[in-house]
Structure 1
Amino acid sequence: MTVQRPRVLAIAEAANPEWVSVPLVGWSLASALREVADVHIVTQVRNREAFLRAGLCEGRDFTAIDSEALARPLWALGQKLRMGEGKGWTTLQLINALSYPWFEHLVWKTFGADVRAGKYDIVHRITPLSPTLSSPIAAKCARAGVPFVLGPLNGGVPWPEGFDRERRREREWLSYLRSAYKALPGRRATLRHASAILAGSRHTLGEMPEALRGKCIYLPENAIDPARFSRAGAPGDGPMRAGFVGRLVPYKGPDMLIEAAVPMLRAGRLLLDLVGDGPMMADLRTQAEALGVSDAVTFHGWLPHQEVQNVLAGCHLFAFPSIREFGGGVVLEAMALGVPPLIVDYAGPGELVQAGRGYKVPIGSRESIISGFRRALEFLAEDRAALAQTGQTARDWVAQNFTWGRKAEQVLSVYQAVLSGAPMPAFFDAPATPATCAPWANPEATT
């Protein structure tokens, strides 16, 4: 069976056009799917006002499920257990594992009769992204004969060796026990009853049971809204300018970037733009002052999207030494502006950045990453034309593969495969070898 515009019930508990991270992914994908399918979005009531401000009509376009009786007190508990804003992500996921089944219970109470009556061709759970949270609706859809699509799923990338100090500073105590989620009730049933599983990273894909790999599709969850990131990079003359965007927290490595850049900063050959805020702000300012480079480092603080792209568009390079990124959406944003990324070859960014569209430093100890970034910055500063060409290649690749419109077309092809019984589509080739993205590591390389 082929359905040109399938009728889709899109479950996106976290979906909000005014927020960032997972809620923005949920909103962006669900909204993009409305262009290729007849989609009704189901979200949590906290997102209701943002949906209305975005122009959606309640009842026709979306339904807001009020699960606050359980979600609100558990969220408050989770915030206390995290011991710091933006920290203790695995603790928050544990809290979500307690509250999310109630949300799905209310979803099925509202839409179960319609699903059983065949009013939807597909039920698609978009968020939560976490692969640790089961979906009770999956089995109910299977009994109703309606395909259930799960994902994109992403998360749980292991902390790299040598960064236990950063792990503790992030309050990631439960991450030591994270693999226990595979034994949680409902996980295997959710995967078994799903008709298709979208894996947002190769790590998540690798965690799927071998017997289910045939219905798993590798599809990174992030994409770009061309309206939000519309400028083309146009850095000026003078010293090379490198930008960093992200929360100022230990695992994103802003302190490693400053330390790696010190020789060039002192020599007047490099300027750094740091966009973001967080608990490390005061320490980073102190670090820059103590190293005598504060005049060459600009701390922009938190900026809205439009202003972020204005800063990045003036950079020759996006320098991002984060050691634990699930998706790496900010890397795509830089690439969309034509600003080539320099990243650590690990997890999400390592999958996105390949030969010709960016540069990678191998994952390793803190010292080796700093040393690698220092060599890379020195090398890349010598050939602005090569940087510009790499940035253009990255920009073209994102425009072809990673807009939300393109993402919706990719998901639609998954829907069509599910409905017709065809094999699952494949969207991306295997990544290139890391060495192809580190020309400074080749002793014969010239600038």
Structure 2
Amino acid sequence: MEADPVKPRVLVIAEAANPEWVSVPLVGWSLARALGEVAEVHLVTQIRNRDAILRAGLDEGRDFTAIDSEAFAKPAWALAEKLRMGEGKGWTMVQAINALSYPYFERLVWRRFGPEIARGEWDIVHRVTPLSPTIASPIAGRVARAGVPFVLGPLNGGVPWPRGFDAERRREKEWLSYLRGAYRMMPGRGGTLRHAAAILAGSRHTASEIPAAHRTRTVWLPENGIDPARFSAPRAAPEGGPLVASFVGRLVPYKGPDMLIEAARDLLEAGRMRLEIVGDGPMMPALRAEAEGLPVTFHGWRPHGEVQDVLARSHVFAFPSIREFGGGVVLEAMALGVPPLIVDYAGPGELVGPKTGLKVPCGTRPEIVAAFRAELTRLAEDRSGLYALGEAARARVAAEFTWSAKARQVARVYDWVQDGSGQAPEVMQG
């Protein structure tokens, strides 16, 4: 009988890792936990996540370490909240402030774990979050000099605003995004990439921004994943009646909920379509006024369980967002067998293929509205092909986008960096 392979000892650094939050903290938590299936993992995170991690059942000291970097993190967060000029806005500004405060966190990580790394007690050090490619790692060089592979990522972000959406860009308070390219000249970026044994790129765009000298060590691995236990509702879209489309997301300009209502107006007025909108945000009052008298239901924010119930009752997930880095909500719809209709740009465009959903070209606002109107009209007349798309979407998520699947993909990268030879592995089929 063959012995089970020895799992590598991996120190996972995820400054943002919280099972009770969403977005980046949930990605950090979910990937770190899944990596425990393929490695002996110890999670290092920021102290604000400590209580939630304890409630999740982990043992402090054995399973995770909470680093208290609040001396820098707390005032930096307060400053970012003031400068972003509105809840959920100014994301680029938040990342810029984080880039200034984050190095202190890693210095404290090194103070705690540096001696262990130098003694060879860890086979791999993997920094999972921050996801932003603009934030350098002060300890990457120290880890590499200790002879331990340093894995960076998945990195994602910085998708350019498409042409014709400057008004939406300004409404999102993204003034600093005009200067985002300057991050390439920030101290520490070159050294971080140079000392990384592997760089996980969460999008093709991010991979394209990695300097050519480091591309042979860059692996495409979208950062989002699905917990099958959270998204398991049986598909229950009605066989007859009007086309049922759903939208899930913050009600902000770049997500395009107003474009969706405009595109669907004729169908809604004719009773040939019904629209379910899950989410909240500054556009809610204007959207309610725009949809007055139409068969549009505004659900507001809902827990995951209720969100999946709304999605499962839909024929199509209509999501005309023009600037998604990852597109996790698209995967959630696909996991339920609901085919997405998306703009072919950035994260969603990479997740959806011709056999798993529907895509329209990324153009100006009138062009996107017209393209969505045409697709929705076609589906209202004949939705017979949606079931096959949905089943293919569900199968792809199960094969490549559960957190367990992503852990296996990362395990191939771990094997490669420990072997130290050959070409970086292709871990995704798409």
TM-score, normalisation: structure 2: 0.98
What is the aligned partner in structure 1 of residue 427 from structure 2? 427
What is the aligned partner in structure 2 of residue 372 from structure 1? 371
Name the CA distance, whole Å, in 1 between partners of 2:159 and 2:148: 32
Name the CA distance, whole Å, in 2 between partners of 1:94 and 1:175: 10
Name the CA distance, whole Å, in 2 between partners of 1:244 and 1:127: 28
Cα deviation code 1:92-147 (max 9, x no counterpart): 00110111000000000000000001110000000000000000110000111100
Residue from 173, 179, 182 that aligns with 1:180: 182
Deviation at 1:429, TM superposition (A): 4.9
SS in 1 for 2:148: coil
Residue from 273, 277, 282 that aligns with 1:279: 282
Between stretches 340-349 and 235-244, larger displacement belongs to: 235-244
Q: What are the equivalent positions in structure 2 for 1:138-149 lying under 5 Å apart?
A: 138-149=140-151
What is the aligned partner in structure 2 of residue 441 from structure 1? none
Deviation at 1:211, TM superposition (A): 1.2
1:269 correspondence with 2:272? yes
Contact 2:14 2:28 in 1 (8 A): yes
Contact 2:136 2:189 in 1 (8 A): yes
What is the aligned partner in structure 2 of residue 405 from structure 1? 404
Structure 2 alignment gaps of length 5 or more:
none
Q: What are the equivalent positions in structure 2 for 1:39-188 lying under 5 Å apart?
A: 39-188=41-190
Tell me which amino acid in the other structure corresponds to 1:149: V
SS in 2 for 1:381: helix
Name the CA distance, whole Å, in 1 between partners of 2:111 and 2:361: 49
Contact 1:10 1:123 in 2 (8 A): yes
Contact 1:15 1:26 in 2 (8 A): yes
What is the aligned partner in structure 1 of residue 199 from structure 2? 197
Deviation at 1:3, TM superposition (A): 6.5
Contact 1:3 1:416 in 2 (8 A): no
SS in 1 for 2:287: helix
Structure 1 alignment gaps of length 5 or more:
431-447
Contact 1:199 1:217 in 2 (8 A): yes
Name the CA distance, whole Å, in 1 between partners of 2:320 and 2:427: 27
Cα deviation code 1:188-224 (max 9, x no counterpart): 0000000000000000000011111110000000010
What is the aligned partner in structure 1 of residue 7 from structure 2? 5
Between stretches 226-235 and 107-116, larger displacement belongs to: 226-235
Name the CA distance, whole Å, in 2 between partners of 1:427 and 1:417: 11
Contact 2:30 2:403 in 1 (8 A): yes
Name the CA distance, whole Å, in 1 between partners of 2:221 and 2:145: 27
What is the aligned partner in structure 2 of residue 14 from structure 1? 16
Contact 2:412 2:427 in 1 (8 A): no
SS in 1 for 2:34: helix
Deviation at 1:384, TM superposition (A): 2.6
Tell me which amino acid in the other structure corresponds to 1:388: Y
Deviation at 1:4, TM superposition (A): 3.1
SS in 2 for 1:225: coil
Deviation at 1:35, TM superposition (A): 1.2
What is the aligned partner in structure 2 of residue 240 from structure 1? 243
Tell me which amino acid in the other structure corresponds to 2:412: S
Name the CA distance, whole Å, in 2 between partners of 1:8 and 1:427: 19
SS in 1 for 2:385: helix
Name the CA distance, whole Å, in 2 between partners of 1:167 and 1:310: 32
Name the CA distance, whole Å, in 1 between partners of 2:341 and 2:416: 37
Contact 1:129 1:151 in 2 (8 A): yes
Name the CA distance, whole Å, in 1 between partners of 2:96 and 2:359: 33
Tell me which amino acid in the other structure corresponds to 1:361: V
Deviation at 1:389, TM superposition (A): 1.0
Name the CA distance, whole Å, in 1 between partners of 2:111 and 2:143: 13
Name the CA distance, whole Å, in 1 between partners of 2:189 and 2:246: 40
Tell me which amino acid in the other structure corresponds to 1:326: F
Q: How many percent identity over aligned positions?
A: 69
What is the aligned partner in structure 1 of residue 415 from structure 2? 416
Name the CA distance, whole Å, in 2 between partners of 1:129 and 1:284: 32
Residue from 204, 217, 225 that aligns with 1:223: 225
SS in 2 for 1:384: coil
Name the CA distance, whole Å, in 2 between partners of 1:410 and 1:345: 25
SS in 2 for 1:10: strand
Tell me which amino acid in the other structure corresponds to 2:193: L
Cα deviation code 1:339-390 (max 9, x no counterpart): 0000001000001111110000100010000000000001122223211111
